[in-house]
Amino acid sequence: MAVSNIRYGAGVTKEVGMDLQNMGAKNVCLMTDRNLSQLPPVQMALDSLVKNGINFKVYDNVRVEPTDRSFMEAIEFAKKGAFDAYVAVGGGSTIDTCKAANLYASSPHSDFLDYVSVPIGKGKPVSVPLKPLIAVPTTSGTGSETTGVAIFDYEPLKVKIGIGSRAIKPTLGLIDPLHTRHMPDRVVANSGFDVLCHALESYTALPYHMRSPCPSNPISRPAYQGSNPISDIWAVHALRIVAKYLKRAVRNPDDLEARSNMHLASAFAGIGFGNAGVHLCHGMSYPISGLVKTYKAKDYNVDHPLVPHGLSVVLTSPAVFTFTAQMFPERHLETAEILGADTRTARIADAGPVLADALRKLLLDLDVDDGLAAIGYSKADIPALVKGTLPQERVTKLSPRPQSEEDLSALFEASMKLY
Amino acid sequence: MAVSNIRYGAGVTKEVGMDLQNMGAKNVCLMTDRNLSQLPPVQMALDSLVKNGINFKVYDNVRVEPTDRSFMEAIEFAKKGAFDAYVAVGGGSTIDTCKAANLYASSPHSDFLDYVSVPIGKGKPVSVPLKPLIAVPTTSGTGSETTGVAIFDYEPLKVKIGIGSRAIKPTLGLIDPLHTRHMPDRVVANSGFDVLCHALESYTALPYHMRSPCPSNPISRPAYQGSNPISDIWAVHALRIVAKYLKRAVRNPDDLEARSNMHLASAFAGIGFGNAGVHLCHGMSYPISGLVKTYKAKDYNVDHPLVPHGLSVVLTSPAVFTFTAQMFPERHLETAEILGADTRTARIADAGPVLADALRKLLLDLDVDDGLAAIGYSKADIPALVKGTLPQERVTKLSPRPQSEEDLSALFEASMKLY
């Protein structure tokens, strides 16, 4: 179990220049997206670089929900720049793009698919040394600052896939609650749903000793190794924070206590799922995001249709946990209780429905779209959604309950309408 | 907050050769002590090195409760060997010795006191790159496999002091429950008390935002930064395991569930205190061990008088927590409850005595010597014990309650007899 270094506190972003200097960096790449590039988090980081006399170039062409093409552009930039360190200021899209740029610039003769997860890529282990990467998250969801995973839309197949290797884990995450004040409420909600599902999925994932195959050489073992005694601690702790603070954080941008706690919960859940993995909500979310038609999420300032990652993940959660609860029902019931369900009289056989009800109640309270139908999908799309889920075996095989294509189809269908 | 990589499982020691190969190591130093060098944990590691074609040299001259002199010998060995990786198989003494050997062999022009904590050493930050170090703990106490601390007896002053830097943290800890079966019961008890106090002290340590000074450059900040939201999680979790399993682990060597859990708890508490720090039990323990007269602990096969570290730590714990509880009494009461005290009718003002009673009960149940008097100290020794505590400011300043020399004197006096 590997865990990144993180530093938490209001204003820690101002220390990034000193950290880079301490690392001996002389030529730094700062990655961000266009919207953020004009906002305080990036400005604070740039000021710190200037103040510490660090040479840098800014790449602000990160795509929100990146693609193989947008990854490649960032990689080209990184290769040309011959940087000796990276700083990613942004949400998961920015941090993931920066991980990919660092990886391929450090391994310039690799084909893009070499490090992409099987079955679409070759899933080669990373043996080249990477440059230091400092991640400064500005959303409270992905936990990407703590994980060895980078996710993107693979356009040739219209499906989201990933690169997963401990090697791409950021050297340091600077968790700065000051960056949470400017998030619009839907960004807080959707990124919070990502935290919620990271916690729920990693806690209910197949236990590490039941996962197979178990490659004899440790370097060949996946970053996602199944639930384990360490990830369990993080998952439960993150879930408790979500239960306590998510609604407050969404509803009141001035509730710094709630927003700070969600920012920390994002990292905590990241440490958990970064070791344990996620399963069906995430596996099924990738086609939901990847096959988006015209849906444009409120509060996201982008020039293309977009189902935000956290939304695409959470919409199937009631159906997924109803399906998985027959394995490890106690854990499902425990999480329902943490989310506020009264489980005193619940039967263990009802663990799935009890958790699903708790989730539906939370989503309704937070004005979430009423299922996949509300974001533009119909029954006719299910075969394509299932087809897009099949290549996600990196995560779907961590589901505690194996699933057939028919099962996936039924899960999508059950997720069309929630309330 | 920085956390080492750990891997847990029966037989993970057999993977050490592959891990070294994956790291590209070609010339490895394996450190251990004389007793262990003939036992299965070392044999298992050596077999794995041989099987994977790794060249290695064995240094088995580690001293149980190391000294500056024993550190220097190991450092000399490391310098001559020009190793590209280290494996430490043993308890805290071995892992700490190996950390020091790696550090000074990587920084050959440094004086020994350069990296030793102030006020005895200069406490310089480490900026040289170290070689990979894989730690394989064979006791369930120090958590040294997860921390950036190395402790030794500084013979010129007859006092235990330390080197503390994130840079010396092992690259990987292999937590192998197979190594717990051969521990004699006193070793299980005393190393378990170390876990207990790591958890209690880090949970009650001065919170990170109240610690001072707070150096503006992150590299100058101490490894021990005060209690914080991450260390709290580990401390409480480790404490729950101690409460559930320590007695079983001591009493029955065949209770692999209990011994495995204590082995994991040692690492968990290590992750916690490695970030947060410890305070008075540890600060006061160093002279208790360092000034040992004739006491020879049962079950420890050494040729010199010895107060095992965990014993020297726990004997003052009832007095210490009675003293500190007026700061953060809720936390003291919470830990008492975890340890089995009935706190339903306890007043918050009684948090200290309630926790102290719970500790005394545990120690009595486990046949622990009745206080400092039982291990050879009398009132006349108190001035020397206080004098030996004063240089421990690395940890004593993390006490939630500041302490005068008179306070320390009273704490030693109150610890002379426990029952």
Of A5, A8, A218, the CB nearest to B7: A218
DSSP string, A147-177: -SEEEEEEGGGTEEEEEE-GGGS-SEEEE-G
Kindly report the CATH number assigned to the domain that includes residue B35: 3.40.50.1970
CA distance B148 to chain A (A): 13
Tokens of A160: 């989201």
Does B280 map to a domain? yes
CA distance A175 to chain B (A): 11
Coil, helix or strand at residue B330? helix
Residue A403, phi then psi, degrees to nearest 5? -135, 135
Same domain? A214 vs A94: no
Cα dihedral across residues B394, B399, B403, B409: positive or negative:
negative
pLDDT in tens, A377-389: 999 999 999 999 9
ipTM (interface pTM): 0.81
Contacts of A219 in chain B (CB under 8 A): 18-19, 22
Same domain? A161 vs A216: no
Contact present, B285 and B214 (Cβ < 8 Å):
no
Boundary-marking domain end, from A179, A207, A225? A179
A218 prior amide bond cis, ω within 30? no
Boundary-marking domain end, from A179, A203, A220? A179
Same domain? B364 vs B266: yes
Same domain? A171 vs A199: no
Q: What is the mean pLDDT of residues B49-58?
A: 97
pLDDT at B2 over 50: no
Does B317 map to a domain? yes
> Across the interface, do A228 and B18 touch by the CB < 8 Å criterion?
no
Of B1, B22, B209, the CB nearest to A218: B22
Mean pLDDT of chain B: 94
Q: What's the angle, vertex CA A261, arms to CA A259 and CA A267, rounded to 5?
A: 110
Out of A215-224, A241-250, A332-341, B173-182, pick the least confident. Answer: A215-224
Boundary-marking domain end, from A159, A179, A199? A179
Same domain? B273 vs B209: yes
Does B269 map to a domain? yes
Same domain? B102 vs B190: no
Same domain? A288 vs A408: yes
Coil, helix or strand at residue A90? strand
**Domain range enclosing A302:** 184-415
Of B3, B18, B218, the CB nearest to A18: B218
Same domain? A171 vs A121: yes
Contacts of B5 in chain A (CB under 8 A): 1-3
pLDDT in tens, B287-326: 999 899 999 988 888 888 999 999 999 999 999 999 999 9
CA distance A18 to chain B (A): 6
Out of A17-21, A211-215, B376-380, pick the least confident. Answer: A211-215
| pLDDT grade for A4, boundaries at 50, 70 and 90 | low
pLDDT in tens, B231-275: 999 999 999 999 999 999 999 999 999 999 999 999 999 999 988
Same domain? A156 vs A267: no
The total of other beta-carbon atoms located within 10 Å of residue A362's CB is: 22
Is 0.90 topped by the overall pTM? no
Contact present, B89 and B138 (Cβ < 8 Å):
yes
pLDDT at A290: 87
Domain count, chain B: 2
Q: What is the mean pLDDT of residues A215-235?
A: 86
Does B371 map to a domain? yes
| pLDDT grade for A2, boundaries at 50, 70 and 90 | very low
pLDDT in tens, A164-208: 988 999 999 999 999 998 899 999 999 999 999 999 999 999 999
Same domain? A268 vs A408: yes
Does A284 map to a domain? yes
Mean pLDDT of chain A: 94
Give the DSSP H or E segment for A141. Answer: none
Q: What is the mean pLDDT of residues B213-223?
A: 80
Does A1 map to a domain? no
Same domain? B362 vs B281: yes
Contact present, B389 and B286 (Cβ < 8 Å):
yes
Does B1 map to a domain? no
Same domain? B308 vs B213: yes
Contact present, A177 and A256 (Cβ < 8 Å):
yes
pLDDT at B4: 54
> Across the interface, do B3 and A5 touch by the CB < 8 Å criterion?
yes
B317-324 and B405-414 are packed helices; what angle lies between their axes, rounded to 10 degrees?
130
